[in-house]
Structure 1
């Protein structure tokens, strides 16, 4: 049993990590509902303003695994502070931006904040008692999704009461406090990897991710068969192949390909990709559906604030389930939670596709979505952390988060193409476009549930200091125990 001083230390560390993750997650989605406002204020066009989202996505996708790997080598606490400083600097620049170019640069700098996720998971793995790791990782993982949902909920009230610049000022305040607290209270992790940091793998990783994500982001407007999209996709495939070959031959790889081939890792990453398709596409397109004037034959003519409130149940249920996920994992196993979560998550997409005529139906759908994705997100992060050596926690969890982001890009691009397929130029999409789009997301989530069955079965490995039975451990420690791959 830990002494009270040590428990207090871990609680303070967790609060700092939670604040850091929440601030980053909020910045993922706060600007999504107000792009039109930013477009008007910064005197730009619709095609250019979408880069406020795309630039952030690209930057986060590149820096998330890289910052995790650097943290594994030079120290996670040190890199957490660096990451928070970058996130704060980008937020400050965005809050002060007077033209679209500066805003896009600011969002690129903010994307460095993606490193918060793998670094926080790594710090939990290194510093927390073994029996507390699964619960802490589960809550932090849930916060990433909860924050993304809350960003859409809070954007309207913030803009109505203040203006859109406060979408950056408020996270900036949280980030500054978290950075100071991290420097003062989060101990430097003792676990380090040996060797130098390879530059070529980092360049190749960045190159193929940029090609892939630009192609997916622009495909709905450029056309899936356009030369630019096909060329970028081909470039992504070639560069990814070269990257894998270089990593396999490297004495000090950025990402260990042997680790990525572990059954518990690649299967969990496959599920993460498919879960990302569904969840992030919903956050992007459900508000548009809700805000469509009812005269179109569907939609509710909701304001930004009202559409956010309809999404609020997902954030509430996701957080509640994330908090409880550790205890559930101890009793049932993390694989069971991923299978159950992805199976449950099919239901809300079917409701959105075929039962979207009343507000209460949409509230029910978002609440059920939070339960399903809350279970899946929390358990997936625990599986990754448990499956790899401590010194590879940062890069492994970084790639898992990155793969979810790639899935989100795929889902958003497919959804945009389906929804707008039958729309007249400059007109509203047909209801059938949304029906087919949400049905497609249901199909992707069904595949995610099937993929979850491939995850290796896990069993509980008692911590040396915990009681013999898991139930007694929960009572005695007031927390959870994790799973280990067999």
Structure 2
């Protein structure tokens, strides 16, 4: 008998356990790059300007996959799409593990970015195959294990990369993903696709992908210097043309990937501005802190290994997890705008403090944890605020806009930080001057502080 939404095929603990284990493995694979980024740069022979590409490439794919993963699952069946995406992630993980150079590693990271679709597709599956009460428990389990995977990845990246090699750092989580995907394929029943008249905006997907890639690569090329003015101008024109084409398509198609018409609402565009500015500062921080920790101790650095960096960044990861559990409560009790304001002030203060105080590891650890907590709380409060500021049927579109904006902000922020370090490399040591880190933290703090201006507009938009 064919299963329908009215008579779903129930699933047991093994299927839920497989989904949870898959989420754990995905979270681990996603988290191994940040603590090992200096090691990867050294092994691949790349400088500070190219280093952020490793970190942000996965995010770019995620920004494209996030808005359409649920639509694909509803149209073609959650299990089928999940297996396809996990196949791409597995190929990407193996490419990353075998990568002899930066281009191959970046290709692997592009494919790994398909993992962003795993959570919404998992939620589709448990919603179709479990009663409401059990669905909430299963969603919490899968989400929690994905977050826990981030902690695991942060801890194991350094020991594996230093004890075995950077190749195994990607290979071990990928092997776990392959194994658990096979278990999901066997234990999870097929779910019927839902009837839908809306089409997938494939042209919008392609144009957004090209725009983001061109933006990041163009920024890297321009920031690296040495380009003739005409070439620099051509890069800028090319990115602008792709972005314009995407905007035109999204405004005209019946079912856009991202409905840009919502940006006309003050609450929407002000939330996007706040998200962009805070994400810029956060992206700069995520890149600068590991670079400073790994700099040789002769002078101003700490000579931290990948293992050390993972341990030192662990409080920041835990702070982000804790933020997720209390952000909704805080937003409901004090209002999203109040939470966002406090988060922006705390982030800016921590960054500006780092600009003048970064000569001890505890300063970096405390500041990074505070920034991770404040940015995570603010991001969730922004989602909660916009979800109540727009019509119920527009909630998915509005939150999708914020997700894309956040990814773009983090990507550009990391690139800005890399460009600052690249511009102030000491020819004698081939390392950035300490002033580069001071400048980077100060700029990140000022950018974050500017978000407070947009927060003021949010209140007016909410009243309107």
Indicate whether the TM-score tops 0.5.
yes
Cα separation, partners in 2 of 1:301 and 1:12, compared to 1, 3 Å: closer
Match of 2:349 in 1: 347
2:83 to 70, 81, 84: 81
Which string of whole-angstrom CA distances, capped at 9 and with x for unpartnered residues, describes residues 187-245 of structure 1?
95987753222333233222222221211233321368754443222222222222222
* Alignment partner, residue 338 of structure 1: 340
2:60·2:212 contact (CA, 8 Å) conserved in 1?
yes
Which residue of 113, 116, 122 corresponds with 1:114? 116
1:379 matched to 2:381? The reply is yes
Post-superposition offset of 1:454: 3.5
Aligned twin of 1:463: none
Shift of 1:354: 1.0
Cross-structure match for 1:288? 291
- What does residue range 95-106 of structure 1 map to in structure 2 within 5 Å? 95-97=97-99, 102-106=104-108
- C-alpha distance in 2 between matches for 1:189 and 1:385: 29
Shift of 1:163: 1.9
Partner residue, 1:401: 403
The answer as to whether partners of 1:83 and 1:112 remain within 8 angstroms in 2 is: yes
Shift of 1:397: 4.3
Cα gap change, 1:399/1:407 in structure 2, threshold over 3 Å: closer, same or farther? Answer: same
Q: 1:436 to 1:36 in 2, by over 3 A?
A: closer
Alpha-carbon distance between aligned partners in 1 of 2:33 and 2:402, rounded to the nearest angstrom: 17
The CA deviation at 1:104 is 3.8
Which piece of structure 1 moves more, 390-399 or 97-106? 390-399
- The structural deviation recorded for 1:84 is 2.3
Q: Secondary structure at the match of 1:345?
A: helix
Match of 1:240 in 2: 243
Distance 1:241 1:370 in 2: 33
Residue 263 of structure 2 corresponds to residue 255 of structure 1: no
Q: CA deviation at 1:253?
A: 2.3
Cα RMSD (Å)? 4.4
Match of 1:155 in 2: 157
The total of aligned residue pairs comes to 452
Larger mean Cα displacement after TM superposition, 389-398 or 60-69: 389-398
**Counterpart of 2:446?**
443
Contact 2:19–2:184 (CA under 8 A) maintained in structure 1? no
Once residues 336 and 10 of structure 1 are traced to their aligned partners in structure 2, the CA distance between those partners, rounded to angstroms, is: 41
TM-aligned CA distance change 1:342 to 1:8, over 3 Å: farther
Q: CA separation in 2, counterparts of 1:268 and 1:351?
A: 26
2:34 to 29, 41, 44: 29
Given that 1:21 and 1:117 are in contact with CA atoms closer than 8 Å, whether structure 2 keeps it comes out as no
Structure 1 SS opposite 2:199: coil
Alpha-carbon distance in 1 for matches of 2:78, 2:87: 14
Q: How does 1:29-428 map to 2 (within 5 A)?
A: 29=34, 31-36=36-41, 38-39=43-44, 52-53=54-55, 55-71=57-73, 73-76=75-78, 78-97=80-99, 102-116=104-118, 119=121, 151=153, 154-176=156-178, 179-180=181-182, 184=187, 193-222=196-225, 226-296=229-299, 298-383=300-385, 397-425=399-427, 427-428=430-431
Partner in structure 1 of residue 455 of structure 2: 452
CA distance in 2, matches of 1:234, 1:141: 43
Structure 1 stretches of 5 or more lacking a match? 460-484
Long gaps (5+) in structure 2: 1-9
**TM-score (structure 1 length as normaliser):** 0.76
Separation (CA, whole Å) in 2 of partners of 1:458 and 1:81: 42
**1:239-282: CA deviations, max 9, x gaps?**
22222222222223222223454444433332222222122222
Mapped to 1, the partners of 2:340 and 2:123 lie a distance apart of: 18
Instruction: Report the alpha carbon displacement of residue 410 of structure 1 after superposing the two structures with TM.
Output: 1.7
Deviation larger for 419-428 or 196-205? 419-428
Deviation of 1:140 after TM superposition, in Å, equals 5.0
Distance 1:447 1:162 in 2: 44
Match of 2:298, SS state, is helix
Deviation of 1:291 after TM superposition, in Å, equals: 2.2
Deviation string 1:417-473 (CA, Å, 9 cap, x unpaired) is 3334343336322222211110111111112343334445999xxxxxxxxxxxxxx
After superposing the two structures, state which structure 1 stretch, 118-127 or 428-437, moved more: 118-127
TM-score by length of 2: 0.79
